[in-house]
Amino acid sequence: QSALTQPASVSGSPGQSITISCTGASSDIGAYKYVSWYQQHPGIAPKLIIYEVTNRPSGVSNRFSGSKSGNTASLTISGLQAEDEADYYCSSYIGGNTLGFGGGTKLTVL
């Protein structure tokens, strides 16, 4: 149902910045401001890190930032730390009382 596309994996060295893309369509990411990002460590429930494209919940590091251009949303993590190694998922409201997730991106900190 969801056609949000993320890269399967990205990697970076400590201190570097990485960006994870989430590509949708004009009917989902391109149409709504409700794009969010989640971090999931193994065996633990996901955690919201970005909501409404660019906003960070209280307590989330300012090293995490979000943006959107057209039908593609992006998550940037700056100053990579070992603890950032996790799976990351984008999500968007896609209309008709439905939401969707991207397939997830595994971040490896080298």
Partner 1 sequence: EVQLAESGGGFVQPGRSLRLSCAASGFIFDDYAMHWVRQAPGKGLEWVSSISWNSGNIGYADSVKGRFTISRDNAKNSLYLQMNSLRGEDTAVYYCAKDSGPAMAEFDFWGQGTLVTVSS
Task: Enumerate binding residues for partner 1 (CB under 8 A).
Answer: 1-2, 34, 36, 38, 40, 45-48, 51-52, 57, 87, 89, 91, 93, 96-104
- Pick between residue 12 and residue 104 the one whose CB is nearest to partner 1: 104
Q: Beta strands 72-77 and 64-69: pairing type? A: antiparallel
**Cβ atoms of 22 and 90 closer than 8 Å:** yes
**Cβ atoms of 6 and 87 closer than 8 Å:** no
Three-state secondary structure call for residue 61: coil
Separation of CA 66 from chain center: 8
- Pick between residue 8 and residue 13 the one whose CB is nearest to partner 1: 8
Q: How far is the CB of 101 from partner 1 (least distance, A)?
A: 5
Q: How far is the CB of 4 from partner 1 (least distance, A)?
A: 10
- Pick between residue 72 and residue 93 the one whose CB is nearest to partner 1: 93
Q: How far is the CB of 26 from partner 1 (least distance, A)?
A: 19
